[in-house]
Amino acid sequence: MRELACEVAVIGAGTAGIAAFRAAREAGVDAVLIERGPGGTTCARVGCMPSKLLIAAGAAAHEARQADLFGVRAGPVGVDGAAVMRRVRAERDRFVGAVLESLDGFPDDRRLAGEARFLGPDALDLGGGTRLRFRAAVVATGSSPSVPEPLRGLGEHVLTTDTVFEIPDLPASLAVLGAGAVGIELAQAMARLGVRVSVIDPGPAPAGLTHPDLVAAAAAIFAQELDLHLGAEMTAAEADDDGVRLAWRCADGSRLERRFDRVLAATGRAPNLDLGLDRAGLSLDGDGRPALDARTLLCEGGPVLMAGDVDGLRPVLHEASRQGGIAGANAVALVRGTPLRAPEPWTPLAMVFTHPQAAVVGAPYDPEEERLVGGVDFRDQGRARIEGRNRGGARLWADRGGRLLGGELIGPDAEHLAHILAYAVAAGSNWRDLVDRPVYHPTVEEGLGTALSAIAEQVTEH
């Protein structure tokens, strides 16, 4: 048995793990980074970056087809699916390579390969006859795609977000299970590249939206390019020659059955918790999840912290990076016996990079709460009309005094508008604080002023 020791053990070399390891090392403690492979972070390898590459390819094809709106005759648009996927992988590999290169400065003897499992509250088995003693541990093992039961056993016909970017060419037809951020992004991108796409989701809304006006707008927008089935439940799946035959029940009770070349399971990701956490002395629920302080990221029952997708709090990259830094600093605090950091969570911010984009910011929409709601319709917004991107809308909500609490958007440049709103919510701003800021004309940002003015009228009424 090979015996090793460290002060802080970080399990997982993704975004959160790397941030935790750096924080611990910069604080001067002896930290070890453990990775079972393949590494490179979920974002760069199978998440943010390759999906945006596919979205960009779809957008290029779509814009070429839409050029006639401006009197520009582009002619027939052809899509070379194999070339599309080659570029996606080539650029993806560049991003992954940059992440791996960033690890080169870490000492080799502090980077260990292995599949860590807890032996007790202060020891890990790394496999291959290696045991590691630690004083505090950070679990940053990420998540893995969930595959619905009916699809299991159908082999390569079923794709996940971990495998879809490896296909050599685009399929002729694709069923996407899940209309959340990842599902709707990839579905629209594939459709714009000429794939016949059906989206099936048991929920009532696409892209994580909840405000009824925006849910309806989003459904209408995506239905123009996709065969969209919301409120639908898959009832059966079976192999059919070189494809898959699916059956599902629609929201109205009718039943449909169709064959697809491939099926993409985009029904979420499950945290990677198969680490023997019960042997670490942690308090676990019925699903094997530890009780976790959402601010310090410390698990109840032992010197173990969690960060990134594995904790299930906010599975997006900027949150994972921040959580990693917090967990790493608090692991150091456990080693040194100093107080833990407990920073306030960031303002919630989630985005969907469809066209138009969607975003959810701050406090969720709640029709039961007494709030002031203001909106804008991007169909009539000046800059949006100029560029032929006039679709969707936004809804912002505030308390009775006009202090902004949150909002949702689906429309042009939603990624930028959402940041403005997130900063305003984080600062505790009211409608007047934003209205008093300069907004250039003509920009899409002017649309926020329309929504804020609607809130201002209601503040006056109160």
Span 279-293, pLDDT tens digits: 999 999 988 899 999
What is the pLDDT, as a whole number, of residue 460?
67
Say which residue the tokens 């629209």 belong to.
188
Whether pLDDT at 192 is above 80: yes
- CATH code for 149-268? 3.50.50.60
- The pLDDT confidence band at residue 41, using thresholds 50, 70 and 90, is confident
In the DSSP assignment, the letter for residue 290 is B
71: three-class secondary structure by DSSP = coil
Q: Which CATH number fits domain 349-461: 3.30.390.30, 3.40.50.300, 3.30.70.1140, 2.60.120.10?
A: 3.30.390.30
Closest CA to 126 of 138, 112, 139: 112
* Structure-token pair, residue 52: 């945006």
Residue-wise pLDDT for 357-404, tens only, equals 999 999 999 999 999 999 999 999 999 999 999 999 999 999 999 999
Give the tens place of pLDDT for each residue, 88-108.
999 999 998 888 888 877 888
| pLDDT of amino acid 461 | 56
CB atoms within 10 A of CB 73: 6
- Residue entry with tokens 């990420």: 142
Protein fold of 2-36+114-144+270-336? FAD/NAD(P)-binding domain (3.50.50)
What gap in Å lies between CA 74 and CA 89, rounded to an integer? 28
- Rounded Cα–Cα distance for residues 319 and 316 (Å): 6
**How far is C-alpha 211 from the geometric centre of its chain's CA atoms?**
20
Q: How many CA atoms lie within 13 A of 438 on its CB side?
A: 1
Residue 174 banded pLDDT, cuts 50, 70, 90: very high
Cα(403)–Cα(132) distance, integer angstroms: 51
Listed by start position, the domains of the chain span: 2-36+114-144+270-336, 149-268, 349-461
**Equal CATH topology for 2-36+114-144+270-336 and 149-268:** yes
d(CA 138, CA 140): 6
The residues near 118 (Cβ < 8 Å, ≥ 6 apart) are 124, 125, 275, 276, 277, 279, 280
Contact 257, 232 (CB under 8 A): no
Query: Distance (Å, rounded) from C-alpha 153 to C-alpha 195?
Result: 24
Q: Can you give the pTM of this predicted structure?
A: 0.95
